[in-house]
Each structure stands twice: as structure tokens, then as C-alpha cells.
Amino acid sequence: MQITHLKHHQIDKERWDYAIENSTNPLIYALSWFMDIFSPNWEALILGNYEFIMPLTWRKKIIFKYLYQPMFIQQLGIFSAKEVKKDIQKEFIKKLKNKYKLIDIQLNYANPALDSEHFILRNTQLIDLSIPYTELYRKYKKNHRKNLKKIYETELMIDRKGECSDFVDLTRKMFAAKAVDEITDHDIVKLEKVVNQSLKLKIGEFYFGHLNGEICAAAYFLKWKKRVIVYTALNDTGREVGAMFGLIDKYLKENAGKDLLFDFAGSNIPGVKYRNLGFGARNEVYYRVTITNLPILFKWFKK
């Protein structure tokens, strides 16, 4: 089984994107333009004639190259038009272990778990939008219905009146207020670039929550193939009135009956997972892979 490692300049991006688009597990995260923004100089492992492909998001610290998961990209891993079986996955992981001393990445939902301590289960929540809204609503938890009733009794206005800059500003302030140090301003700039590019491609749309003339919540719905992923942002006011319940409900209502899979893009955080499942979502698992083969003197290394 000959797996080839390609540097960034060696990747045929036209063939790459064709392989992603025609895979059994297509995800927008793995398209070349998306990767170019979030992980410039990304590399790849290729098996066959782009039969099985795996993007490699790498950085270098001290003298070591290591693999990491870029912020705002939930899943990567191996993509193929064929089933990704365990023997294929083992060979890809073996190739990674031989090349990188530190690996901390997230595979995708179609990549199987191996019998290894290095595989950590992760969660995302999905809603099948192909049924009418009345059926979707019946699956909402009782508490969610109460929250929505309270929201619609407030003066919260939900519409598309806003700009990318409003979403980015709200996102920046939200993470600053939460003191989320691992998400840098550079990460948010990359997110802004992805949003602007996807708007040009006409595959994304905003919903905003307005209260007292101010934007208090925003959600960006990114649709590619049959999967919709959402990026959200809100401030304390939006959180207090439960604005995100309203934004999500409005999107589900306006897109019910379509052949789409709504992906909350998370979460493992109990409270957020509960909120997502409360909309009648089902849980889907994928795996994080963490492997450290650093020399003893570098065991302290942290990315």
C-alpha cells in the first residue's frame, strides 16, 4: 500500500476538489480554497490516483513539525469515494506517526475508530431537514418550546439585516468576553475570509438578532452539497433573551422540507450539546487522534 506525501505545491487542487466533491463523506472544510485560508501550505497524503486523500495541517515549533486542528474546522481526516476501512486508516496513521512527533487532529464521521488509546470520541449534532416544520417542531424538547415562546414575546427581531463585519465584531467580542485564549484574532480574520469567499460563491447566509436597535446575536449558515454548518456569535444580551434559539428555529422553519442535513458543528460541551439535542437533533460521532512521540527532553512540548 503506497501512500504518497505531497508538499503543498505538488497537490493538484483541481483533482483534489473533485475527489472531495465526489467522496462518500464530502465536507466543505476539506476543499482546497477553505484549506488555503485556514492552513496555508497544507500538505497531503494520497493513496492511488487521489483515491484516498488526507489533508495535513501542520506547523513547526523548535525543530519539530507537528499536526494540529485549525480553529473553526471541526473535521478533516481521510476522504474517498470508497469506504474508509480500518486497514486503510491504519496505514494512514502509521504514515503520520513515522513523519510527525506530535499529532493532534480530528478525523471525520466516516473514518472508523481504531483499537487505540490515541482515539478520543467527539460529538456533533445533526437534524434531517427533509421533513415538514410541523414534524421538526414536534421533536423539540418541551423546554425549547417554552424558550421560543418567551423569545417571540420579547421585542427581538430576527432578519438578515447585517454585514459580515457585524458578525466578525460580535464573534471577536464574544471570545474576548469568554477569555478564550486559544482562539486568536488571526483565527477570526481567517474565519472572516472564509465567510466572505463563501458569500461570493453564494453558499452562505446570515441571520441576525436585533434588540433595541442593536445586534445581539448572529448566525452564519454555510451550505455545501447537502450539509449545512453553522457559526454563531452573541453577546450577553443575546444570551439573556435566548436569541440563538430563535435564530436556529427560524432557519429550520424556512428550510424544512429540503434535502439538507443541518450540522450544529458540535458540541462536546454538555450545555451546548443539550441545547442542540433539544431541537430534536441526533448525535453523530467522529474521532480526535492524539499521538506524542517526542524525545524525553521534549515531553514538555505543547503546541
At residue 272 the predicted structure's pLDDT band, cuts being 50, 70 and 90, is confident
What is the mean predicted confidence (pLDDT) over 128-156? 94
Note whether residue 270 is domain-resident.
Answer: no
Highest average pLDDT, of 39-53, 54-68, 113-127, 258-272, comes from 39-53
Residue 198 makes CB contacts below 8 A (sequence gap 6+) with 204, 222
Looking at the fold, whether 67 and 137 belong to one and the same domain comes out as no
Helix, strand, coil share of the chain (percent; to 5): 40, 25, 35
At residue 303 the predicted structure's pLDDT band, cuts being 50, 70 and 90, is very low
Higher pLDDT, 180 or 26: 26
Could you report the per-residue pLDDT of 176-227, keeping only the tens digit for each?
988 888 899 999 999 999 999 999 999 999 999 999 999 999 999 999 999 9
Note whether residue 171 is domain-resident.
Answer: yes
Note whether residue 96 is domain-resident.
Answer: yes
Looking at the fold, whether 236 and 147 belong to one and the same domain comes out as yes
Residue 49, Ramachandran bin (φ over 0: left; ψ between -120 and 50: alpha; else beta): beta
Could you report the per-residue pLDDT of 62-77, keeping only the tens digit for each?
778 899 999 999 999 9
Answer whether 119's CB lies under 8 Å from 113's CB: yes
Note whether residue 267 is domain-resident.
Answer: no
Looking at the fold, whether 143 and 183 belong to one and the same domain comes out as yes
At residue 295 the predicted structure's pLDDT band, cuts being 50, 70 and 90, is low
Instruction: Please tell me whether residue 272 adopts helix, strand or coil conformation.
Output: helix
Looking at the fold, whether 25 and 101 belong to one and the same domain comes out as yes
Count the domains in the chain: 2
Looking at the fold, whether 118 and 139 belong to one and the same domain comes out as no
- pLDDT > 70 in the chain, percent: 97
What is the mean predicted confidence (pLDDT) over 125-144? 97
Q: Taking 90 as the threshold, does the pLDDT of residue 78 lie above it?
A: yes
Looking at the fold, whether 82 and 116 belong to one and the same domain comes out as yes
At residue 101 the predicted structure's pLDDT band, cuts being 50, 70 and 90, is confident
Sign of the Cα pseudo-torsion (275, 74, 223, 132, in order): negative
Looking at the fold, whether 69 and 173 belong to one and the same domain comes out as no
Looking at the fold, whether 180 and 243 belong to one and the same domain comes out as yes
Q: Taking 80 as the threshold, does the pLDDT of residue 266 lie above it?
A: no
CATH number at residue 290: 3.40.630.30
Looking at the fold, whether 11 and 94 belong to one and the same domain comes out as yes
Distance between CA atoms of residues 208 and 217, nearest Å: 6
So what's the pLDDT on residue 24? 97
Q: Taking 70 as the threshold, does the pLDDT of residue 300 lie above it?
A: no
Note whether residue 16 is domain-resident.
Answer: yes
Supply the range of the domain harboring residue 22. Answer: 3-122+286-298
Looking at the fold, whether 136 and 219 belong to one and the same domain comes out as yes
At residue 298 the predicted structure's pLDDT band, cuts being 50, 70 and 90, is low
Looking at the fold, whether 197 and 118 belong to one and the same domain comes out as no
Query: In the predicted model, what is the mean pLDDT of the chain?
Result: 93
Least confident segment among 39-48, 210-219, 271-280: 271-280
Note whether residue 269 is domain-resident.
Answer: no
Q: Taking 90 as the threshold, does the pLDDT of residue 153 lie above it?
A: no
Ordered DSSP codes for 161-213: ---HHHHHHHHHHHHHHHT-TTS-HHHHHHHHHHHHHHHHTT-EEEEEEEETT
> Of 20, 50, 43, 24, which Cα lies nearest the Cα of 111?
24
Note whether residue 273 is domain-resident.
Answer: no
What is the mean predicted confidence (pLDDT) over 140-166? 93
Looking at the fold, whether 66 and 109 belong to one and the same domain comes out as yes
Q: Taking 60 as the threshold, does the pLDDT of residue 297 lie above it?
A: no
What is the mean predicted confidence (pLDDT) over 165-184? 92
Residue type, 33: W
Note whether residue 194 is domain-resident.
Answer: yes
Q: Taking 50 as the threshold, does the pLDDT of residue 136 lie above it?
A: yes
